[in-house]
Amino acid sequence: MDKYSHLGSKGTLLLLSLAISLLAACSDVEPVESVQSEIEASEPEFLYVASQSGPALSVIDMNAREVVETIWLTSLGFTANAKPHHVAVEPDGSFWYASLIADGRVLKFNRDNDLVGQAVFETPGMMSVDPVEDILYVGRSMAAVNPPQRIGVITRSDMTIDEYDVFFPRPHAIAAAQGGGRVFTASLSVNQVASVSPEEDDLEIINVTGDTHTFVQFAVSPDGSTLVTGGQISGQVMVFDVTDSRIPKLVTSLQIGGQPWHPVYSPDGKLVYFPQRTSNSVAVVDAQTWELVASIEGNGLAEPHGSAISADGGTLWVSGRNTEAIYPTTIESTSSADASGEGLPAGTVVAIDTLSRQIVAVLEVPAYAAGIGTRPSY
């Protein structure tokens, strides 16, 4: 058995569903909708993790807090240097997507973790699902020195792809506007943020003053009015008013340091969490006052990279590259026999209770845990 795998069963849910159907058919009692709802609610919520040096994708049951499946990309015909980097998930959880930097692919998996489609795109990096339109937006990887100045626009249903020119170098950070049909992206090389509507062929570029920030990734507030990002070089949190999503307006900034990486909002919109890669911590920022209110540290936060939050807001998940073995993992090898991560320290994924701000679980996954994702909580 794969040491990362756990054989979870859907058989119990299937039998219960059949029993409910028979009960409804054979009695005068109305269908037991409340019981059916409980069954549906008991289905696990999954977190997906891209391990860049595995190369592998891990599936975590967020309720059980355990890895239930590890997908070795070499077993699917991809190279040992595929470099899976980021994950995006459909709003209903029916499909999920993974970007492969070196293999130049965006993969589509169903909820059973079967590969069902793919698109070709040079050095894909960050991704974002449009909440309204049938579109997956894709930026370029940070590892790409001089990639095309275009973002990917993938039709999710059939995985056909178009590219849209944003006219600035290295478009990396990417996030769909809450209203749909528009996406925000930013350059790694220059202080420019773009608001793009590919369908309307509308591009607005905003210049941000100051030294180079190197915007890594965005998060959009639950109400869609605010866009936040962190500067890898500047260590600043930048806050944009996107009430008019066509023209983002910089309204404030906050110095937190530590190379803020992939942010995530709490479902109620009151807090934003920023993994800080070089300080091995997570900054907690008040989204009303834009003040730093807490710093979360602890065993398992090892070069924090990606973040995601549970639907109820109770658990924050943060991936850790752990390339320098800051966290002493118990797994000797973190890759399949022919993969590039052989012998490297395992990556980490930590679960943090958002009320106590304490780490409640540390999971080990294949090497260099990078982007993570679950279905949106808002």
Q: What is the pLDDT of residue 339?
A: 54
pLDDT of residue 42: 58
User: Where does the pLDDT of residue 15 fall: very low under 50, low under 70, confident under 90, or very high at 90 and above?
Assistant: very low
Mean pLDDT score, 174-191: 97
- Is the pLDDT at 157 greater than 50, yes or no? yes
Across 37-46, 67-76, 265-274, least confident range: 37-46
The number of CA neighbours under 13 Å toward the Cβ of 174 is 30
Confidence tier at 38 by pLDDT (50, 70, 90): very low
pLDDT of 232-245, one tens digit each? 999 999 999 999 99
Task: Say yes or no to pLDDT of 33 above 70.
Answer: no
Provide the percentage of residues in the chain whose pLDDT is more than 70: 86
CB atoms inside a 10 Å sphere around CB 145 = 10
Q: Is the peptide bond before 267 cis (omega within 30 degrees of 0)?
A: no
Give the C-alpha separation, 261 to 61, whole Å: 24
pTM of the model: 0.88
Q: How far apart are CA 163 and CA 161, in angstroms?
A: 7
Alpha carbon of residue 51 to chain centroid: 12
Residues β-bridged to residue 282: 275, 296
Does residue 129 carry a pLDDT above 60?
Answer: yes
Q: Tokens 């290295």, residue?
A: 170
Average pLDDT of 337-355? Answer: 81
pLDDT at 343 (0 to 100): 75
Every domain of the chain and the residues it spans: 11-43, 46-373
- What's the pLDDT score for residue 316? 98
- Nearest in space to 241 (alpha carbons), one of 233, 232, 250: 250
Strands 226-231 and 124-129: unpaired
CATH of span 46-373: 2.130.10.10
In the block, which residue shows the tokens 């054989």? 7
pLDDT bin (cut points 50, 70, 90) of residue 377 is: confident
Our measurement of the distance from residue 137's CA atom to the centroid of its chain's CA atoms, rounded to an integer in Å, reads: 13
Average pLDDT (216-234) is 97
Rounding to the nearest 10 degrees, give the CA dihedral for residues 122, 123, 127, 133.
Answer: 0
pLDDT tens digit string along 76-113? 999 999 999 999 999 999 999 999 999 999 999 999 99
Could you give the CA distance from residue 253 to residue 90 in angstroms, rounded to a whole number?
Answer: 31
**Lowest mean pLDDT, pick from 65-74, 141-150, 336-345:** 336-345
The pLDDT, as a whole number, for residue 329 is: 80
Question: What is residue 330's predicted lDDT score, i.e. its pLDDT?
Answer: 76
Confidence band, pLDDT 50/70/90 cuts, at residue 43? confident
211 vs 287, residue with greater confidence: 287
